[in-house]
Structure 1
Amino acid sequence: MANVDIRQEDLEVPLKRGRWLVVLKSPIFMVVPILLSILVYTQLPANVDYEPRATLAISTGAIALWVLEPIPFSMTAILILILLPVSGAVSMDLVLSGFASPAIFLILAGMMLACGLEQTSLGKRMAFQLLYWFGEKRGGILAGIILIPQIMAIFIPAAAVRTTMLLPIVFSVFSILGIEKGDVQGKKFMLGAAIGCNVSGTGILPAAIGNVVTVDLINYYLKQHITYMDWLILSLPLWLILIPVSWWVLNRTFPKEEKVPKGLKKEMKRLIVELGPITAQEKRTLLILTLVFVMWAMEDITGWPPVIPTFIGVILMATPGIKIANWEKLLDIKFGPLILLAVTLSLGRALFETGAIKHISQWLENDYTLYLFSQPALSVLTVAILTQLIHKVTSNVSTAVIATVPVVISLAQHAGQSSSPLLLGFTAGITCLFGFLFVVETIPNVMVQQTGWVTQRDFIKPGICLTIITTVLTYVLALTWWPWLGYL
């Protein structure tokens, strides 16, 4: 990419800044979860048996570690993997059961598929093409930045992967336009990247780990299966509305007039030409990705869960004669997210099998909560607000899902036939994607903030607006779309 200065240092965590504070906080943040675990274990009512007592204590400590983050998320997951069976709270088979979930293999296959896509110029070509079409229109650059991850979401699971692919493209735009740190347009475009990547997981089941965890929990707790098309149909209006709404909110909260960027279209055209004509490799990649998408959509007909089409796509990418990517490179993935996801699923099962969730729902159950959960539309609004509040203090989507979905399902079951446990579990799961207010709520927020182009303060105004809007939209769906589909 000639003349395009992609500042790689902007993608790295500013380690030196505040290092002394991290060193000071880490020991304290390790002690607090231990104290919380001890407090929960010793202060629970006497009628709570040992297994749920120990499971709740370990879960509390683990959630505190995920919130405070003195150690990596996956390291906390391995601690859970050790503590649950060693304490005698659950069997080793149950602790390892999460690793056998189709959800793990779906994310694994999706990451391999993304590795194959990254070995071609297809993703970059689509991004440049979008910016070519929209770039010189007023507000077009922001629209392009928000739309790019929406298209990526169809084929690339995990918002972190999409964010990693999007940021260099955003920095290319900055270099072309001469945007510097501190510029209002730079802040707006960076927040567009974070919000766009968060929203991009809404409608596509494999596009967010939180979605996969939610579906697994619903299947395990309720023995009800949500297909790819079920998720898409339920969430489609919310997803389609949030794309232009996100653009509108960012333009309203960063009202500085955006100059029409003359020359950007020409530069994008040059970069597209520099990539050359679409190659046979890219055409084969596009064909495979389309085939995978079609097979996902036909789950009701074929009976194949999404993991099977995804692995078919991976195999095709490395098949001699097609050969989009080397098999060894497809295996070059990070296993930290997989460990975190597997242990999160196991923890959800442990909470259910030991009866810990039953105790939690009984403690929360009173005339007021039963009333809220007995009113279909009101219960959706209650769950959306409750999930947003819990999500504000949890630093990853999987943690928020495991902290809300099981409890919501249990409360809905106790509320009687007027409340839909499946739909409320879905509401809690999808709301966990909408972390717009605080940096720590989602990985895309963290990745964008760590570039140094935006601060926590920059998230506040658009974050408040989008949090309110998503909550209201969810309630409107509960009054309209979901009853029309027969879910309420």
Structure 2
Amino acid sequence: MSTISNPQTKRESVATKPHHKGLWLSLKKPLWFALSTLAFVLIYFGLQDYMEYAPRVTLAITLAVIVLWVLEPIPFSMTAVLVLFLLPISGAVSTDLILSGFASPAIFLIVAGMMIASAVEQTSLGKRLAYQLLYWLGDKKGGVLAGIILIPQVMAFFIPAAAVRTAMLLPIVFSIASILGIKQGDVMGKKLMMGVVVSCGISGVAILPAAIGNVITVDLIHTYLHQHVTYVDWLILAFPMWLILIPVSWWVLHRCFPVKNEIPGGLKVKMKAMIGELGPVTREEKRLLAILVAVCLMWALEGIHGWPPVIPALIGAVLMAWPGIKIADWDKILDVKFAPLIMLGVTLSLGRALYETGVTNYLSRWMENDLTLYLFSNPALAVLTVAVLTQLIHKVTSNVSTAVIATVPVVVALSAHSPNAPALLLAFVAGLTCLFGFILVVETIPGVMVHGTGWVTQQDYFKPGFWLTLATTAVTYLMAVTWWSWLGYL
């Protein structure tokens, strides 16, 4: 018996799909706002008998905005602005306190980093470096991927922003794909794009100014523990881990995206031609390189001259546009993005508000039980616990800054009730682990930027992200029982 299809039914079926999709889109944002409001109500009224007003309303507003940051019905920076007036209006904290984060040197360090990155982009130095690395490595098995992974690691020393490093690397990767005839959807294309995500993610591990999460972590350590972490302190703690993660990342991506006949013929010749097109190294590039080296040296010598990282960064930015040196145009250098600065300032202020109102004290008392005391009683086990806990929190607080502000205060609070817990190291581990967001697209800015190219899907993140999460956790524990223990931090 034959079945005759009804064209009208088909048209109605097709028409209902966009209708349902449009209905969901129209309901989604109100639903996210409702969930945020529900989080506020549950905390504010549910803890009425357990907390005083100021810490209770501070915690309620914090969880409400975290829900908005995770679900993103409005831009991150707009949610951050809500904090600026909700906390003072509620009477939980003063206006001076909620604006104090914007007076932090961390804000001006990021401003100076953006200015330096803008100056670098106005020259060919970044491209020259990338092409040269690919010229050296391109004819070896896995060499192209190795070059893509190494480029941001070098950039991290003089471009203190993962988003800027990603933005500079993507055009280079597209150029390589064009040379090699790689098309969207090819396995090799997915491998190279995931190389951008992973390499830009780990490039901020050892260099303090190279990731906003690092800067926030150091500020929180100073606020809660009253200890100052210098550029060299961070470098010494994280450098061996950084060196291990570079080849580990290459190996994981190489295995997760197997490609036959990967060695591209003629890439070395083509890279040489592209280097030739850039011409000889210009005077501006030499001056720029000299200034960048000088800035890095001043960062490394912080223990001698006592200047925080922001001072050398600002000196470098001014020199790059100084008359007689003139590497870049000053007006273009000043064209920095305001949204990340708002986000950073608010997260710093929020961390101080949680501390000043006593929220962290309440959290530490609530979480103090036999299990947490046992886990934190063994320093190495405490490091592993914090690494796993941070990864779990990071999965529901997608933005790195949000993950840091949601994790570090809790870790410090738990450490306060465990006499054997190395509070400084645990706070450092929590902040560092927030950089390792590889499973979900939204966990890091490089992940979002690369996904936006259309060359990779969320599904492409799962397998390498899972193995890299395991690898970073294992390496963190390895550092705890070896390097950090030898340095006396454990």
TM-score, normalization: structure 1?
A: 0.95
How far residue 34 of structure 1 moved from its aligned partner, in angstroms, is 1.4
Q: Partner residue of 2:9?
A: none
- d(CA) in 2 for partners of 1:28, 1:176: 47
Q: Partner residue of 2:273?
A: 270
> Cα RMSD over matched residues?
1.1
- d(CA) in 1 for partners of 2:32, 2:245: 36
- Contact (CA 8 Å) 2:124, 2:278: kept in 1 or not? yes
Aligned pair partner of 1:311 in 303, 309, 314: 314
1:217 and 1:19, CA in 2 relative to 1: closer, same or farther beyond 3 A?
farther
Deviations 1:106-125 (A, max 9, x none): 11111111111111110011
- Contact (CA 8 Å) 2:364, 2:416: kept in 1 or not? no
- d(CA) in 2 for partners of 1:388, 1:158: 22
How far residue 21 of structure 1 moved from its aligned partner, in angstroms, is 5.3
- d(CA) in 2 for partners of 1:291, 1:115: 18
Q: Partner residue of 1:432?
A: 434
* Structure 2 unaligned spans of 5+: 1-20
How far residue 450 of structure 1 moved from its aligned partner, in angstroms, is 1.2
1:19 and 1:270, CA in 2 relative to 1: closer, same or farther beyond 3 A?
farther
- Contact (CA 8 Å) 2:394, 2:437: kept in 1 or not? yes
- d(CA) in 2 for partners of 1:299, 1:138: 41
1:294 and 1:19, CA in 2 relative to 1: closer, same or farther beyond 3 A?
farther
- d(CA) in 1 for partners of 2:101, 2:23: 38
- Contact (CA 8 Å) 2:205, 2:435: kept in 1 or not? yes
Deviations 1:171-224 (A, max 9, x none): 001111111111100001100010000010101000000000000000111110
Where do residues 65-464 of structure 1 align in structure 2 (5 Å cutoff)?
Answer: 65-416=68-419, 418-464=420-466
1:388 and 1:126, CA in 2 relative to 1: closer, same or farther beyond 3 A?
same
How far residue 27 of structure 1 moved from its aligned partner, in angstroms, is 2.2
Q: Partner residue of 1:10?
A: none
Q: Partner residue of 1:4?
A: none
Amino acid at match of 1:228: Y
- d(CA) in 2 for partners of 1:58, 1:149: 37
Deviations 1:256-293 (A, max 9, x none): 22421112111111111111100000000000000000
- d(CA) in 1 for partners of 2:481, 2:262: 41
- d(CA) in 2 for partners of 1:47, 1:107: 39
How far residue 45 of structure 1 moved from its aligned partner, in angstroms, is 4.6
- d(CA) in 2 for partners of 1:29, 1:266: 53
- Contact (CA 8 Å) 2:48, 2:56: kept in 1 or not? no
- d(CA) in 2 for partners of 1:97, 1:19: 42
Amino acid at match of 1:28: L
Q: Partner residue of 2:56?
A: 53
Amino acid at match of 1:390: I
1:178 and 1:398, CA in 2 relative to 1: closer, same or farther beyond 3 A?
same
Amino acid at match of 2:457: T
- d(CA) in 1 for partners of 2:166, 2:23: 29
Deviations 1:372-391 (A, max 9, x none): 11111000000000000000
How far residue 300 of structure 1 moved from its aligned partner, in angstroms, is 0.6
- d(CA) in 2 for partners of 1:359, 1:195: 37
- Determine helix, strand or coil for the equivalent of 1:110: helix
- Contact (CA 8 Å) 1:139, 1:258: kept in 2 or not? no
- Determine helix, strand or coil for the equivalent of 2:168: helix
- Determine helix, strand or coil for the equivalent of 2:228: coil
Amino acid at match of 2:47: L
- d(CA) in 2 for partners of 1:363, 1:22: 39
- d(CA) in 1 for partners of 2:385, 2:396: 18
- d(CA) in 2 for partners of 1:115, 1:185: 31
- Determine helix, strand or coil for the equivalent of 2:55: helix
Deviations 1:277-325 (A, max 9, x none): 0000000000000000000000011111100000110111111100111
- d(CA) in 2 for partners of 1:293, 1:22: 48
- d(CA) in 2 for partners of 1:91, 1:184: 54
Q: Partner residue of 2:487?
A: 485
- Contact (CA 8 Å) 1:185, 1:258: kept in 2 or not? no
Amino acid at match of 1:362: R
- d(CA) in 2 for partners of 1:47, 1:395: 29
- Contact (CA 8 Å) 1:184, 1:254: kept in 2 or not? yes
Query: Does 1:63 pair with 2:66?
Result: yes
- d(CA) in 2 for partners of 1:23, 1:450: 23
Q: Partner residue of 1:13?
A: none
1:19 and 1:296, CA in 2 relative to 1: closer, same or farther beyond 3 A?
farther
- Determine helix, strand or coil for the equivalent of 1:415: coil
Amino acid at match of 1:177: L
Q: Partner residue of 2:4?
A: none
- Contact (CA 8 Å) 1:396, 1:442: kept in 2 or not? yes
1:20 and 1:253, CA in 2 relative to 1: closer, same or farther beyond 3 A?
farther
- d(CA) in 1 for partners of 2:363, 2:334: 41
Q: Partner residue of 2:8?
A: none
- Determine helix, strand or coil for the equivalent of 2:263: coil
- Determine helix, strand or coil for the equivalent of 1:318: coil
How far residue 405 of structure 1 moved from its aligned partner, in angstroms, is 0.3
- d(CA) in 2 for partners of 1:332, 1:203: 28
Larger Rg: 2
- Contact (CA 8 Å) 1:203, 1:232: kept in 2 or not? yes
How far residue 23 of structure 1 moved from its aligned partner, in angstroms, is 4.2
- d(CA) in 1 for partners of 2:232, 2:134: 30
Amino acid at match of 2:76: F
Deviations 1:382-411 (A, max 9, x none): 000000000011121000000000110111
How far residue 47 of structure 1 moved from its aligned partner, in angstroms, is 3.0
Identity, % of aligned pairs? 67
- Contact (CA 8 Å) 1:210, 1:433: kept in 2 or not? yes
- d(CA) in 1 for partners of 2:22, 2:137: 41
Amino acid at match of 2:338: F
- d(CA) in 2 for partners of 1:201, 1:426: 13
TM-score, normalization: structure 2?
A: 0.94
